[in-house]
Amino acid sequence: MAATACAGRTFEGRLSLGQAKRGANGAAPAKFPITYVVAPPAADKAASKDGDKGAGTDDGSEVVKAGAQKLAEAVRDAKLKLLKELKGEADEQLYEQLVAELQREWPAHLPLLLEVLRR
């Protein structure tokens, strides 16, 4: 790509396929017109975070949200593990209570749905 190529710039040319044979009976290569529009550069995560700071978001709050999300997922996974260990009629009430709570918070969590179907 040319160094002067910037986003939105258009390059036009011809694409030749085949090989021209020397002599009178040689077939000419196939030629096709081609147009290429330069795409904007890909934005990586570091650049997008810098751009978000201008929008008024705080980088520290993103870390807190990520930590809170990890904690919530860890608690969910621990409850699901307990569900799998509960067996018998004595644990039925606790099982139903945990299933109701988890389905309220994580209705589309596939391992939870599979556990409910298994039982």
Neighbouring CB atoms inside 10 A of 112's CB total: 21
Distance CA 42, CA 59 (A): 22
Does pTM surpass 0.85?
Answer: no
Give the per-residue pLDDT at 28: 67
21 or 103, which is more confident: 103
| Residue 87 identity | K
Mean pLDDT of the chain: 80
pLDDT digits (tens, 9 = 90+) for 57-89: 556 777 777 888 999 999 999 999 999 998 888
How close are the terminal C-alpha atoms of the chain, in Å?
A: 60
Domain residue extents for the chain: 59-118
Give the per-residue pLDDT at 113: 92
| 3-class secondary structure per residue, the chain | CCCCCCCCCEEEEEEEECCCCCCCCCCCCEEEEEEEECCCCCCCHHHHHHHHHCCCCCHHHHHHHHHHHHHHHHHHHHHHHHHHHCCCCCCHHHHHHHHHHHHHHCCCCHHHHHHHHHC
Give the per-residue pLDDT at 1: 62
